[in-house]
Structure 1
Amino acid sequence: MTPAVQGYRFALDPTYDQEQALRSHCGAQRFAYNWGLARVRANLEQRRAEASYGLTGEDLTPSLDWSAYGLRNAWNQAKGEVAPWWGENSKEAYASGAGNLAAALKNWIDSRTGERGGPGIGFPRFKGKRARVSCRFSTGAFGLTDDRRHVRLPRIGAVRTCESTRKLARRVEAGRARIRSATLSRRGRRWFVSLSVEVERADPGPARPEAVVGVDVGVKFLAVVSTGEVIANPKRYQKAHKLRRRLARARSRRRGPDRERGVVPSRRWEQANRTANRLENRTAAMRLDGLHKLTTRLAREYGTVVVEDLNVAAMVRNRCLATSIWSAGFGELRRQLTYKTSWRGATLVTADRFFPSSKTCSSCQAVKAKLHLEGACIPLRPVRFRAGSRSERRPQSGGVGVHGELRRDGKHARRKPCKTALARRWYRHGKTRNHGRGPTPPGQPGRSRNRITRFLNGTRTRYPQTMFGEG
């Protein structure tokens, strides 16, 4: 058996009173976080002001202890004055806020000293009421109930879950799992509880332990496996973009919140906002479900999985491909393969970012410093190329073709374009009104309000007759 730390997340179905208690605990966590941050900022500003006066060493105001233990002790000493209502919530709510602040300050210090890689992290900021709410319980009476349909939380009681917890309950009853902590969170209109569990997993090994497979992720196709299998990209985000725009327009027509003027959002705006949030949550869940199915199948079947190390942060700088790259989830796919291969005893190999995979021939293993299309060992698909500028490709008189090619007989070198194809270039959505033209005189062809119809009927001429092969 392989020991591992695994997370179980369950959607909650609380009553009205329980939901108010959940909100109160998350608000208590935010209050403790902001209180500690204000205290730390005041201490730093005081020491900075004293240093500007020339004070040094012991003459400065003593610095505060930024550890989770120090912040928690400071809160316990001052909670009677700053929060007389602290007894309404569990003590773990305030300890969670102190722990989150200590982690944020440590990340800021490590980023300044260079111990933490990646982009720079700024000083922690205060959390508002509209920030993401969460609360963590590490001690107290929390866990599963006997009916496998409820989760017990400190000071809140048993909260019903939307699905059964039997998978985790069986492991806990068998002694193969231990619940470490429970974290409350709210996403959209749903409340979730995430249980951090120490599990002894007994997963079977890969079906083909000697097989080696390479996975190449992309935008057009989600992944291309070295066995020849091509996994299509579902493009969940792009497919929901049209509906997302319509919901955004509906929300913009309502009276939204305005902090500067003190405007309260209307009920119709809140309803439209909830509808838009449900679409975003559903799109994210569907994308995550597809990635889980793909990574699980690869970890179950192959003994060695090879992926490439991509610089996603640099790739998304291209604004034309940023949306497609983010929606594909390159980093999430690699993260899931990392822990799923370790559970099943498989090996995950990460190819170097500068490994010349495209310059290496799969047959002779030769590496070329400069690879051209005509020098590749693999036959490439021919590419149609239209040379010349736009003015050169424009149809001219005297036997010049549509694409700028000239033949001796003066005819077009390629197939003649149809009138419909040329009309699409001038297509406009909607119809054009007949502004004051009156009825059509008798004996003349009808005058349509649509520009495309008038153009195809010959009542609106935009191109010379030579474009249709009549000249």
Structure 2
Amino acid sequence: MKKFEPQPGFVVQAFRFALDPNATQEAALWSHCGAARAAYNWAVGWVEASWWQRKAEESYGIPEADLTEWRPWSLPKLRKMFNEVKKTDPRFCGWWEENSKEAYSTGLANAAAAFDNYAESQRGERKGKTVGMPRFTSNKLLKRLSRRVSRRQGPAVYDPVTGRTTRREPSKRWLKANEDRNKVHHRVADLRTDALHKLTSGITAEYVTVVVEDLNVAGMLRNRRLARKIQDAGFGEIRRQITDKAGWTGGTTIVANRWYPSSKTCSNCGVVKAKLSLHVRVFTCDACGLVIDRDENAATNLAALAAASTTGTGLAGDPDARASKPRGADQKTRATRTRRTMDAGRAGGAVPQQRKETRDRHQDTQASRFGGTVTDLPGGNVRIAEA
């Protein structure tokens, strides 16, 4: 873009305006900002999915001609594809009409510019620092607080004997900034813990038999771009809580082998596909012509696996079966105990009345029903199916 230059004899005057929106207008502004960020993240994920898929296929020794095609990142192509996806994708179909189309176009334009900068940097056509691959955008509150803590340092303690700075005492501003950052860390940790407990409690309270897929999490963590997201999802903690809570309610937990082809197997005829790209979200069987959602197809296969594993129990084969209550109630109550009675000769001389102590640790498990036969766990890499 050509730089603006004023004509000789003219004075350029700038004006600065401040917005003062009401509550409704402020909510609309935040919604449009979120819409632009959602469109940007979709474009980045849609384009890079083909990159990672090609890289995985190359590691399997697939010929160049059979690799997944590159996805274009030009703005017209992104707009055309997004207009097709937003009407059916559950991430957008429920609310995309609430915002202006220019909000989505802004996010798509930023994504196209980011990919152009990355491509030019890789070819050596861009000046300055090397530009990396476009990344997903998110709330940067925690990053901003961390940078503030890094900038604020206390006075240095000088050692006259050695002539060096031995340590640095934290300043009051550093302590305050560190306290603000720790509050955000604790808040995020509490939200994740609460979400995991609500998810697992709702699943085990609603379903008798739960099937989880085993994942090579240690291998997935080797990907430095996904390691933090995978750790945040807490796959291991979800599996542990489901196993424990299913035992409390009298349910059954079945772990599918990590090599079980739940996504590639047709739930209707049983034919296994040789190849199923990660970006393909609709399963189409070449043998019987079945067209079904990818996750629903995998969940149906997992339910069949559960039925085969628990044949004769009457649980996995009956979708309407409910777990028995071994304690006779929906609450966990400790056995009633009587306190020891103090002897009259002990200090105080009073003999207290015997009383019963009952600690009720009932936890409300009225979680929303995870509809159909599929429940996607955080990250979309673990599936749970009702048998």
Please confirm whether the aligned pair reaches a TM-score higher than 0.5, indicating the same fold: no
In terms of fraction of residues, the more strand-rich structure is 1
Which structure: larger Rg? 1
Give the TM-score range, shorter chain.
Answer: 0.3 to 0.5
Give the TM-score, by structure 1 length.
Answer: 0.30
Higher relative contact order (CA 8 A, sep 6+): 2
